[in-house]
Amino acid sequence: MTAKEQFLTNQQRYQPLMLPQRFSDEEMVRDWTMSRRDCQVVNKYRKQYRLGFAIQLCAMRLYGRFLSQLHDLSPRVISYLSSQLDLPPTLTVDVPEREATLLEHRNNILKYLGFQRFDDKVEADLDRWIEEHARQGLLPDELFHRAERYLLLNRIMLPGPSTIERQIIRICNQVHTQLFEQVFDQMSPELRGAIDDLLQTTDGNQRTYFNQLKEYPPAAKISSLKRYLERYDNLVATGINEFEEKVIDTAFLHYLYRLTKRYSAKDMKRFKDHKRYALMVCFLLESRKILLDNLVKMHDQYMTELCRQTRNSHDKKHKEFRKRQKKAIDAVLDTTHVLLEWPDEQPLYKNDLWQRIDEKHLLASIEDLHIFKLLEERGYCDLLLTRYPSLRKYFSDFIRLPFEVAKGSGPLIKAIQFVRQLDDGDLKKLPENTSTAFIPRELRRSLKDQTGNINRNVWEMGLALAMKDALRSGDLYLPQSKQHVSFWDLTLNEPNWDETKHTVYTELQQPLPHEVRSAISSQFHEAVSAAQKLFGLDNFAEIHNGRLKLKRDDKLDVPDKVNQLLMEVDQMTHYSRHFVPIQHHQSRPKNFYKSLMAAIISQATNLGVVSMSNSVNGVTVDMLRHILQYYIREETLINASAEIVNQHHELPLSAVYGSGTLSSSDAQRFKIRADSLLASYYPRYYGYYEKAIGIYTHVSDQYSVFSTKIISCSPREALYVLDGLLENNTILKI
C-alpha cells in the first residue's frame, strides 16, 4: 500500500476514537445511559473497577472499540456514569493492573453485548461486502465509514483502522482493475480509434476535442448552438451509443468522469490502455448527458430571447401606430360626418367630397388603420416569422436529437417526425391531418393560408416554442440526458422498493411500520427520565445573594489579517481536511497548507493566482493552479462550509439567536460581461441590454450560510429555495 493509496489521515489511523469534549446533555444521555440490566452486570465486579467497566461497556456498544485512554473521557460523562452506579464523584478511573484481569473484563463485555472478534471468517465476509459496494461506485473513504457501520450493526468488534484501510484498498484495486478490463473488452476497435483521435489536435486547432468537451457553453446564439450540435454529432460518431452503459454503476461513472475531467490529454496518454480507454468511455458517456442538457438550455434561452426581442419590436411598432391610429380615426370620423350630413336630394361625387376632405390624408389614415388592425391581429406572429430563417440554421439539427414523449404528448413526437421527413425529402408538404393543438395562440391566426393549407413556417415556429415548454414540463424528454429525463425514471418503482425497503429501515435506524408506536412511546419515556436526571446539573448559571449570575468568557482578540483569521478558524473547525483530491487519498504537494490558504484568499478576494503568488513567499503560480484544479472543487467547498456551519451550530452562543430550524433565502444580482449560458437579462435593475447572474444564499436563524448557488436570473427563484433546503448537508434541522 503506497502513501498515495492511503486515504486515512494519521489521526484517523493512529487515533481512531476522537472522544468529543463538547456535547449536549441530550447526546450524553443518548450515548452513555445504562439500562437496569447493565447496572446489575457492572455491580458484580469490584467497586473500584466498576466505573472503568461501565465506560468500556458503553464504548463498545457505541463505537465498537474499547477505549485505550479512559482519562480522555469528559468529566461530565464520568460523573453521569458514577451517578447511575451510585458511586462517589471522582475525576480518575481505576483499571486492573493485571493483563489477565483486564482481558477477562473485555471478554465478558463482548459476551454480554453479543459481540464477536474480527477473525478470518469475518474478514472474508467483509471482503465480499466491500466488493459488492465497491462495484456500486463507492469510494474508499466512504467505504471505510460504511464498513465500520456494517461491522458495528453486526456486533463485530472493530479492528484497527489500518486493517480496514488495507482491506479496502486491496479490494478496490482489484474491482477497479476488473472493471477497466471489462469496459475495455466491450469496446469496439472503432471506438478505441475514435478515442485516440479525441486526444489528438486537429489541423488548424491547438486544442483537442477532449478539452473542448470540458467547456461550459456560452450564451445561446446561432453560432454557439451550431457548434455544440456539431460536437454532439461528433460525439455520437465515435460509436459511444453502441456501448452498454449498464456495465458501470451510475455513481461510479460520475466519479470517473469528474476524475477524467481534471486530467489533460497529455496526462491521459500516460495511463495504460485499459485504464485510459475505460476513463475515456466514462467521460464520453457523461459528456453526452451534459451536452444534451446544455443543448436543451441553449434552445430554451434562444427561443426566450427570440420572443423577447420580437415582443419589444412589436411593442415599439404598436406604440407608434397607436398614435397614428388615433389621428386616422379622427379623419375617418370627419369623413363619416360629411357623408351623414350630405343632403339626400343632392348627388355625391368624389370631386365634391375631396373639396371638403383632404384625399391624401384620408387614404393615409385608412392605410394606418389597416396596418394597426394587422398589428393587433397578427403583428407579433409576422415579426416572429421574419426570424424563421435564423431559427432553421440550427433547428434542423436540433430536431434530430433522440427525443421521446410522455403519455398524452403523442402529437408532439409525430410533429417532430414530420419535420425530419420534410427535411429528408420524404414528405413534400405537411399532411392534412397534422396536429396543431400545440401551436401557441399568438400564431393561430396565421397558421393557415387562404386555401386552408398549413403554413409550414408558422407551424414549425410554433413547434419550436412548444418543444421549449414541453422540455420544461417533462412532457418531452431525452432519455440519454441527465436533467431532462422521464419523470418516472427519477422515482422508486414498486419492485425496487420491495427489494430495498427492509435494508433502508436498518440503514436509517428507523423502526418498522408496525413498531413505530412502541418506539415513539419508549423514546418519550427515555427522554423524560433523562430530563429529570439533568435538572440541577447546570453550572452555567447560579443564584448568588438572590441574584442570577451567569459565567462569561473573556472576549477574543480580533485577528489583524485575513490569513490569520482563516488559520484560526481552521484550528477550531479543521475545515481544511475536506480539501482532498477526487480520489480522496491523503498525499499532499509541497507547502500544501500555505498554498491552500493562499488559493482560497486569491479566489475570495478576486486577486487571482498571479497577484497572490507575488504576495506570498514560497508559493508559485503553478502551485496555486494545482491546488485550484485538484483540491478546491465545488464538492470540497460545500463540505468545508458545512463543517464550519456544524461547528458554529454547536457553539452555545448560536442558540441565543435561534434553534437552527428556520432559514431565509434570497438572491443578489451582479452584472456580468462574460459570455455564459448562465447569464440572462434582468431589466428591473440592468435594463434590456445588460446581462446578470444571481448568487442565491440560504441563511439559518443562527446567521450561518448553509447553501450558496450561482443561478440564472430567468427562472423563478422558488425552484432554488427547494434546492437549497433539499441539498442541505449540515446538521441544521431545516
Q: For 508-526, how does the pLDDT look when each residue is reduced to its tens digit (9 = 90+)?
A: 778 888 888 888 988 888 8
Q: How many CB atoms lie within 10 A of CB 595?
A: 26
Residue 202 to residue 577: CA distance in whole angstroms? 42
Check whether residue 521 and residue 465 sit in a common domain.
no
Q: State the cell numbers at 503.
A: 435494508
Q: Which of 113, 130, 155 is the last residue of a domain?
A: 113
Q: Which of 357, 385, 413 is the last residue of a domain?
A: 385
Residue 436 to residue 292: CA distance in whole angstroms? 27
371 in helix, strand or coil? helix
Nearest to 127 by CA among 170, 159, 157: 170
Q: Which are the contacts of 388, defined by CB distance < 8 A and separation ≥ 6? A: 457, 460, 461
Report how far apart, in Å, the C-alpha atoms of 155 and of each of 111, 168, 261 are. Answer: 11, 20, 41
Check whether residue 109 and residue 31 sit in a common domain.
yes
Tally of domains in the chain: 8
Residue 535 confidence (pLDDT): 47
Q: What is the DSSP letter of 454?
A: B
Is 557 part of any domain? no
Q: Are strands 541-544 and 476-477 parallel, antiparallel or unpaired?
A: unpaired
Per the CB < 8 A criterion, the answer to whether 165 and 6 are in contact is yes
Per the CB < 8 A criterion, the answer to whether 605 and 593 are in contact is no
Residue 143 confidence (pLDDT): 87
Angle (nearest 5°) at CA 583 between 582 and 589: 85
Per the CB < 8 A criterion, the answer to whether 248 and 179 are in contact is yes
Residue 183 to residue 194: CA distance in whole angstroms? 15
Check whether residue 19 and residue 109 sit in a common domain.
yes
Per the CB < 8 A criterion, the answer to whether 82 and 90 are in contact is yes
Check whether residue 109 and residue 124 sit in a common domain.
no
Is 156 part of any domain? yes
Residue 498 to residue 500: CA distance in whole angstroms? 6
Nearest to 165 by CA among 19, 17, 20, 10: 10
Residue 525 confidence (pLDDT): 86
Residue 2 confidence (pLDDT): 46
Per the CB < 8 A criterion, the answer to whether 60 and 109 are in contact is yes
Check whether residue 381 and residue 475 sit in a common domain.
no
Is 427 part of any domain? yes
Residue 75 confidence (pLDDT): 86
Check whether residue 600 and residue 645 sit in a common domain.
no
Residue 520 to residue 686: CA distance in whole angstroms? 55
Is 66 part of any domain? yes
Is 219 part of any domain? yes
711 in helix, strand or coil? strand
Distance of CA 733 to the CA centre of its chain: 19
Check whether residue 622 and residue 645 sit in a common domain.
no
Residue 487 to residue 477: CA distance in whole angstroms? 9
Residue 1 confidence (pLDDT): 42
Is 503 part of any domain? yes
Check whether residue 102 and residue 133 sit in a common domain.
no
Check whether residue 622 and residue 670 sit in a common domain.
no
Q: Which are the contacts of 290, defined by CB distance < 8 A and separation ≥ 6? A: 482
Residue 600 to residue 431: CA distance in whole angstroms? 62
Is 437 part of any domain? yes
174 in helix, strand or coil? helix
Report how far apart, in Å, the C-alpha atoms of 79 and of each of 45, 67, 76, 82 are. Answer: 19, 17, 5, 5
- Strand runs (DSSP E) across 578-690, as ranges? 663-671, 680-681
- The pTM of the whole model exceeds 0.85: no
Q: Would the CA dihedral through 305, 307, 310, 316 be positive or negative?
A: negative
Residues in the chain where the model's pLDDT stays below 70: 1-18, 20-21, 203-204, 246, 531-544, 546, 548-549, 551, 553-554, 556, 558-559, 586
Check whether residue 615 and residue 582 sit in a common domain.
yes
DSSP-assigned letters across all residues of 517-564:
HHHHHHHHHHHHHHHHHHTT---SEEEETTEEEE--PPPPPPPSSHHH
Check whether residue 105 and residue 16 sit in a common domain.
yes
Report how far apart, in Å, the C-alpha atoms of 344 and of each of 10, 337, 348 are. Answer: 112, 14, 9
Q: Which residue has the cell 483569521?
A: 565
Q: How many CB atoms lie within 10 A of CB 288?
A: 22
Check whether residue 17 and residue 68 sit in a common domain.
yes
Question: Using one digit for the tens of pLDDT, what is the confidence trace for 626-653?
Answer: 999 889 988 899 999 999 999 999 888 8
Backbone dihedral angles phi then psi of residue 660, each to the nearest 5 degrees: 80, 20
Q: Which are the contacts of 586, defined by CB distance < 8 A and separation ≥ 6? A: 3, 6, 7, 8, 9, 580
Residue 197 to residue 630: CA distance in whole angstroms? 26
Is 3 part of any domain? no
254: containing domain: 207-306
Q: Which of 604, 632, 660 is the last residue of a domain?
A: 632
Q: How many CB atoms lie within 10 A of CB 462?
A: 24
